[in-house]
Chains A and B, each alone.
Chain A
Amino acid sequence: MSRLRYFLRRLVLSIPVLYFGATLTFVIFRFGPIDPAAAIVGETATEASQAEYLRVREQLGLEQPVFEHYRKFMVDFFTFDLGQSWVLAPGTDVVDLLVIYGPRTMWIVLWAVLIPIFVGIPLGVYAGLHSNTFTDYLISMFGIIWRAMPNFWLAIILLAVLSQSDALLGFDWNSFLADTSVTGTPDLSNLTSVDGFIAATKKVLPAAVVLGSASMGSELRIARTAVLETINSSYVETAKANGVSRRSLVWKHILRNALVPLVPTITNEAFLLIGGSVIVEVVFGINGLGWLFFQSAQNGDLPLVTALVFVFIVVVVLMNIIQDLLYLLIDPRVGYGGR
């Protein structure tokens, strides 16, 4: 089973990546330009605050020898003991903050991944199957425009249009389908009920559309190219010459091969979404991880920042593993011939 071995090898290889990422985070924390303790205590002019400053340094481990601090730091991270916030929400465990803020971001990112997959890719596939027709040109142009619009700009425009939807679009977005305002944090407590699901989805939809806009454009373009490439390959011609019906040609022979270049595009775009959600969450006033990250960085809450950076590293590595797994499922050639 060389394919299983391939996957296990990828799994093992992700450990050094995690380790290196965590080490880099430690270096920035300990030797970076911001003194974490100073940011926490603030003024250090008085005798009392000086004592407080030293106490905080002691607690953060900054007074320990570097290697001992490093060892403790790494053990904590890898046992997922992420410490506490010191400035933004003093005394709150980072894990607790993740539980509060994480799901909101996950919810946006989920939609921001799904919208391109279910809108961009079908459009691209259609364009590829009907290449050089008017529809193809229309779809391709739409893809380029969509890809070219910057997130921050699109977010503001969408915000402006939707908050005056009555005058501009002829219907009221706020009362459309469910009662929600354009900005604010989605209520995720009711996802199992139909109304709650619709309300929560609608709430993050503008943010998700903005976040997914770039991915939608690129996934559309790549789907089109991939389909075009496959459609002209000799195995499609051979299948056709052997009497395979057009439906089976498209669904069985073309699509699965076209997925091969699409998978890395989708997963790579998904990394970007995590970073991109910072801007979008701030514009739409959604209190998610991106917002938390932004605030903690602004306030010099370094313990929280480092913990979040580590979480992001874990997420990215996980995505990579998912990508490898998808590769294995789609393309039997992957892992073949590797030692």
Chain B
Amino acid sequence: MSEEPLLSVENLRTTFTTDQEQIRAVDGVSFSVPSRQTLGVVGESGSGKSVTARSILGLVDAPGEVHPDSEIRYHDPTFVQQIARKYPDQVQWDDDGDGFVTVEAGSGEGDSVTVERGSVDLVAAPDTVVRSVRGSEIAMVFQDALSSLNPVYTVGNQIRELLGIHQGVTGSEATERAAELLESVGIPDPKRRLDEYPHQFSGGMQQRAVIALALACDPSVLLCDEPTTALDVTIQAQILELLERLQRERGLSIVFITHDMGVIAQVADSVAVMYAGEIVERASVSRLFDDPKHPYARGLLQSIPGLTGDVDRLPTIDGSVPTPNEPATYCRYAPRCPKAFEECETIHPEHVSVGEGDHTAACLLYPESAGLAERLDRHHDTEETHE
């Protein structure tokens, strides 16, 4: 995938500090989301998927903290230009300087600068900038639809509020627009539904309403945190279809977080497999399903009924995800890995290319062409240059 990314995350580290220890919930995650594409993030509970999504929008509350060296870059030229004009002294050309607005291609200066290509670093940017991103540029859909809606206000009231904030639309026009939004997410009889409360909606309708809320601000990126997990399979399929249609119609980029490989297969263009705060494999969706490289990704795929043929017992991955509370100097999957060997305990694997395109995996087994000593050397080296 060679398209320009719309959202890119570089070495994201989010830690939670308690009296006893520091939990590295997200530990050096990098990925990028191309425009109009869907990135699937998959992994078990506790692998840091949700924290990654929350970090992007600055929603991690104390004692959680996004490490200042992390980068979360948003590349929409219109937005970058708007911020560049608002904060002229923060503009840096081609990564040269320490401002949070990077302009790669553009012209002019000060508040008349035009940006053709560039990015805003949401980690370094002040709160007001991050707040202006929330909803209007990057919006989020959470897992539990009913608890995502405020129980004491009508659905229409909540949508109108967002329309007022992001698009300055109020009154009967806002009502009109809210009804259109509900209709576009497939809620029948939207005019009447606007005056109903969330508890009067069914589960699937609630999730549609939550999606309508997120779309009220016309974002470019939609972060979906397990939006279909609480729904039954038929409704789940409807919601996935809805998301696909909305992506086509509105040109959305979607980050889709789930633990369900089946969902990934349906919606994602590319996939990042997360384990214990790290991405262990990155691939296009077809590559991942055809030829998974990392033992963890293999384990996940093998444990799906139907993919492994007609067997009595499904293979499982024993144990559970460890809590990452120290810097990774070893492979975090090693204790559960069927292919682990001695060096896995002492060397932290880095991402290496394991196939065509952007297929990479972080495992000491790769690159396959090299001998063991060479492989160890390679992972060892990259680690040192990284520090």
Contacts and interface: CB of A to CB of B under 8 A. Distances in A.
Contacts of A243: 131-136, 139, 162, 165-166, 217
The secondary-structure label for the interface of chain B is mixed
Contacts of B140: 238, 241-242
A331 B158 CA distance: 15
A332 B151 contact: yes
B147 A242 contact: no
Interface residues of B, number: 34
A256 interface: yes
Interface string A215-256: 000000000000000000111011111111100100011001
A287 interface: no
Contact of B200 (A242, A260, A336): A336
B135 A333 contact: no
Interface in B193-218: 197, 199-200, 210, 213-214, 216-217
A242 B152 contact: no
Contacts of A314: none
A241 B151 contact: no
A256 B161 CA distance: 16
A136 to B, nearest CB: 14
Contacts of A256: 152-153
B359 to A, nearest CB: 32
Contact of B199 (A240, A245, A248, A336): A336
Contact of B147 (A235, A330, A331): A235
B150 A253 contact: yes
Interface residues of A, number: 23
A332 B155 CA distance: 12
A237 B59 contact: yes
Contacts of A248: 161, 165
A242 B214 contact: yes
A183 B353 CA distance: 87
Contacts of B150: 235, 239, 253, 257
Interface string B343-363: 000000000000000000000
15 contacts: A234-B148, A235-B148, A235-B151, A237-B59, A241-B134, A241-B223, A242-B135, A245-B131, A256-B152, A257-B150, A331-B152, A332-B151, A332-B152, A332-B199, A333-B152
Shortest 3 CB-CB distances between A and B: which pairs? A243-B135, A241-B140, A243-B134
Given A240-B134, A332-B152, 19 more contacts: A234-B144, A237-B142, A237-B148, A238-B140, A238-B210, A240-B59, A241-B140, A242-B134, A242-B139, A242-B162, A242-B214, A244-B135, A244-B161, A245-B131, A256-B152, A256-B153, A331-B151, A331-B152, A336-B200
Interface of B: 57, 59, 131-136, 139-140, 142, 144, 147-154, 158, 161-162, 165-166, 197, 199-200, 210, 213-214, 216-217, 223
